[in-house]
Structure 1
Amino acid sequence: MPQSLPKVVFLDKATIPAHALFRKLSFPHQWVEYDFTSPEQLEERLVGAEIVISNKVVLSGETLRQFPDIKLIAVSATGTNTIDLDYCAENQIAVCNIQGYATRSVPEHVIGMIFALKRNLFAYHQDIEKGVWQKDKQFCFFTHPITDVAGSTIAIIGSGSLGQAVATLSSALGMKAIFVERKGATQVREGYVSFEEALQQADIVTLHCPLTQSTTNLIARGELALMKSTSVLINTGRGGLVNEDHLVEALKSGEIAGAGVDVFTQEPADTSNPLLANMSLPNLLLTPHVAWGSNSALQSLVDILLNNIDDFVAGKHSNRVV
């Protein structure tokens, strides 16, 4: 293939499951893809690249400085924390991301976790596995509280498209949805509840805000102490939003009733992570960062990714971050 064609390099295509279908880009190009790329492999793989696709590969200013041909970084996710956006802005490198693709998938995952925790489905499953039913000798047994989802107050931290979609589903199920004001805010916006009051009122707290310096450890020991002992915490946002050690303490002590976690401070997580080390807790439900990944959401992500690239080449600004 002629070298004059623009080179598109996908650094970590294996982050997208194989059943998501990639159409061809609308302009002549070279397409090069790698399942995963380590920092040591970047120097070789970015040579001649004009368009770089990356999900989780870190692209620092120091790295990008070595490759002046790069014109676009197409992030195949929403988060752009792995990209040096300041360097890109200063050096005319466009950056686009994927927006609005998981507004069904993430909210449904949140609702699924809520039902599992409020009705203690996992805890009952474990009890059956341990033989509790046979020992009880009754047609049913009640070793854990079962609470209704309808009538619950759900506090939503983050009022973007995902938070709004969670509110819509929650309301349809009979929950009262409240949006939470930023932690430390001096004024409460209309339609919001102050951070501390929301934690105290909520039967469910769900996180849908970005991870920044100000939101790191947004939920830690002090915040968990404000929550009801019957409440549950759901985190499908980012792992660093919650202090994982403090969350385990709260679950073990009964300070809160349960937690559903889809995101971790380090991914993939291993048993050095306090959540994985305590995953046998009956009130802790873990999933491996898959809330976003329904079949329809995955296909939508791929379609938006390719459209972003086509639009950039055509001179249009789609989902531009820089």
Structure 2
Amino acid sequence: MKIVLLDVDTVTNGDVSLAPIERLGEVVGYPLLPPEKVAAAIGDADAVVCNKTELSAEVIAACENLKFIGVFATGYNNIDLAAAKARGITVCNVPGYSTDAVAQHVFAMVLSLAGSLAAYDRSVHAGDWVREKRFTYFPYPLHELAGKTLGIFGCGAIGKKVAAIGRAFGMDILVSTRTPAHCPGETCCTPDELFAAADVLTFHCPLTPETRGIINRRTLSLMKPTALLINTARGGIMDEVAVADALHAGVIAGAGIDVQVKEPMAADNPLLTAPHCILTPHIAWAPFETRVRLIDRVAENLSAFQNGNPINTVI
């Protein structure tokens, strides 16, 4: 079986081995390719695995031998599922591989913002502590998480993990979800109620017509001026200009943003100059251990397909 791996450089810098996949056939790997070169790269492949590369109906139609499409991800909106289904191509994703990693990243951002860690680090490195007469100084805000309300938009695996960690800090949990029955024991509310009540508001939802732009000027205006906003979900759920303006105006106290509408980030993105805003380059999912797990599960998906018992099928 000829297996073509696309955008390999989005899952490994050479630190994570592709051997689990390489054992399954003749493997050819490519870094991120321009869209016009994708069809030629996979034209004779029996199996293709990609991360964010778009596999359109036209690209799929050009691949006569293609029988399997895997994604190095949970999301698969870059695959034309209708075209794959029409061809009888099996499509598999990798659910749940990054749950712990994303929840960890959420609290890395929350703790940094709640403790003004970036500001204190810059201050100490600038010599402020050396010049200080007291043993300590605290010009920047410092807040405990205990007793604060953690608002979680979306209550899938990641949302549930975030809730568990929040409880360990003594936080009160409030959830907004389309499926309250899947979150037994949680206090659920409407999205507007969540924006208004949360001291920390974090999003764990897919990008859908309903969630697109849900973080906007109106919903931000509902938030407490002391509240923190965390987005590790999808860039498209927020209006970046509205978030930046809210930070400049003190409508909210801080934000931690791991995803953008346009990725890589645009040079004129207003969040780059917004105060009290931690920005990371879509890495919440990407710890070493998580990427090892991802490669292993992609290999498991492909091996199961080869054995006639496909798993984690989207179609």
Q: TM-score, normalised by structure 2?
A: 0.92
Distance 1:128 1:27 in 2: 51
Letter in 1 for 2:87: N
Q: Is 1:82 aligned with 2:78?
A: yes
SS in structure 1 at match of 2:70:
strand
Structure 1 position 236, deviation (Å)? 0.6
> How many pairs does the alignment contain?
311
Q: Look up the match of 1:15.
A: 10
Distance 1:24 1:257 in 2: 45
Q: Look up the match of 2:305.
A: 312
Structure 1 position 24, deviation (Å)? 4.0
Letter in 2 for 1:285: I
Distance 1:134 1:203 in 2: 34
Out of 236, 251, 264, the position equivalent to 1:240 is 236
Deviations 1:270-315 (A, max 9, x none): 3222222x16x2x111111111112211111110011001111111
Gaps of 5+ in 1: 1-5
1:170-249 equivalences under 5 Å are 170-182=166-178, 191=186, 192-249=188-245
SS in structure 1 at match of 2:262:
coil
Out of 98, 102, 115, the position equivalent to 1:102 is 98
Structure 1 position 140, deviation (Å)? 2.9
Indicate if the aligned counterparts of 2:153 and 2:205 stay in contact, CA closer than 8 A.
yes
Q: Look up the match of 2:280.
A: 287
Bigger Cα displacement from structure 2, 22-31 vs 158-167? 22-31
Indicate if the aligned counterparts of 2:155 and 2:177 stay in contact, CA closer than 8 A.
no
Letter in 1 for 2:9: A
Distance 1:248 1:155 in 2: 20
SS in structure 2 at match of 1:234:
strand
Structure 1 position 25, deviation (Å)? 4.4
Indicate if the aligned counterparts of 1:181 and 1:189 stay in contact, CA closer than 8 A.
no
SS in structure 1 at match of 2:47:
strand
SS in structure 2 at match of 1:123:
helix
Q: Is 1:30 aligned with 2:26?
A: yes
Name the Cα RMSD after superposition.
Answer: 2.3
Q: Look up the match of 2:113.
A: 117
Distance 1:229 1:106 in 2: 26
Structure 1 position 63, deviation (Å)? 1.7
Gaps of 5+ in 2: none
Structure 1 position 136, deviation (Å)? 6.3
Indicate if the aligned counterparts of 1:182 and 1:195 stay in contact, CA closer than 8 A.
no
Distance 1:122 1:43 in 2: 45
Q: Is 1:259 aligned with 2:252?
A: no
Letter in 2 for 1:290: I
Structure 1 position 21, deviation (Å)? 2.1
Structure 1 position 103, deviation (Å)? 1.7
Indicate if the aligned counterparts of 1:308 and 1:318 stay in contact, CA closer than 8 A.
yes
SS in structure 2 at match of 1:58:
coil
Distance 2:128 2:215 in 1: 35
Pair 193,66 (structure 1): closer, same or farther in 2 beyond 3 Å:
same
- State, as a whole percentage, how many aligned pairs show the same letter: 37
Bigger Cα displacement from structure 2, 39-48 vs 252-261? 39-48
Letter in 2 for 1:12: D
Indicate if the aligned counterparts of 1:26 and 1:310 stay in contact, CA closer than 8 A.
no
Bigger Cα displacement from structure 2, 130-139 vs 34-43? 130-139
Q: Is 1:321 aligned with 2:299?
A: no
SS in structure 2 at match of 1:104:
helix
Distance 2:139 2:58 in 1: 57
Indicate if the aligned counterparts of 1:154 and 1:203 stay in contact, CA closer than 8 A.
yes
SS in structure 1 at match of 2:256:
strand
Distance 1:299 1:27 in 2: 15
Q: Look up the match of 2:43.
A: 47
Out of 36, 57, 64, the position equivalent to 1:68 is 64
Distance 1:133 1:255 in 2: 31
Indicate if the aligned counterparts of 2:20 and 2:296 stay in contact, CA closer than 8 A.
no
Deviations 1:89-126 (A, max 9, x none): 22211111111111211111111111111111112233
Bigger Cα displacement from structure 2, 121-130 vs 45-54? 121-130
Letter in 2 for 1:80: Y
Structure 1 position 45, deviation (Å)? 0.7
Q: Look up the match of 1:3.
A: none
Distance 1:218 1:73 in 2: 32
SS in structure 2 at match of 1:246:
helix
SS in structure 1 at match of 2:46:
strand
